[in-house]
Amino acid sequence: MPDNLQRARAFLLETHQLGPAETEEALCVAASVLRMGLTRLDAAIRAGDGEQCAEQAHALKGNLLNLGLPDLAALAAKAMEPARTEDFEAVRETGTSLTTALGPFWK
């Protein structure tokens, strides 16, 4: 089974019809954006800022959809309601799951 990086690569090559070099550049940018989003989500959790948690979860969802990873986008979306109700443990669990799932992007 392909990992999430391989799935995103195939999506960019096939659906967006990017060339190999463009695809690798897009994946490099995506890795940076996703890492930044997860870092911001963690900071919002630590600050107890439910609104910012929801905004970061929403941004992650959009970025993951753009990479052809709807299952991970749904996971990010799952954090939005707990963020609004300030259930930071649920948001943290989702962030941890996303970090694990996106690990191949940072290797």
Phi, psi (deg, nearest 5) at residue 59: -65, -45
Helices and strands, counts by H and E, the chain: 6, 0
**Over the stretch 83-94, which tens digit does the pLDDT of each residue have?**
999 999 999 999
Within a 13 Å sphere around the CA of 32, how many CA atoms are in the beta-carbon half? 5
What the chain holds in terms of domains, given with CATH numbers, is 4-100 (1.20.120)
Biggest alpha carbon–alpha carbon distance for the chain: 43
Q: Which of 56, 4, 54 is nearest to 27 (CA)?
A: 4
pTM score of the predicted model: 0.93
Contact (CB, 8 A) for 41 and 91: yes
**Over the stretch 72-85, which tens digit does the pLDDT of each residue have?**
999 999 999 999 99
User: Residue 1 has what pLDDT?
Assistant: 65
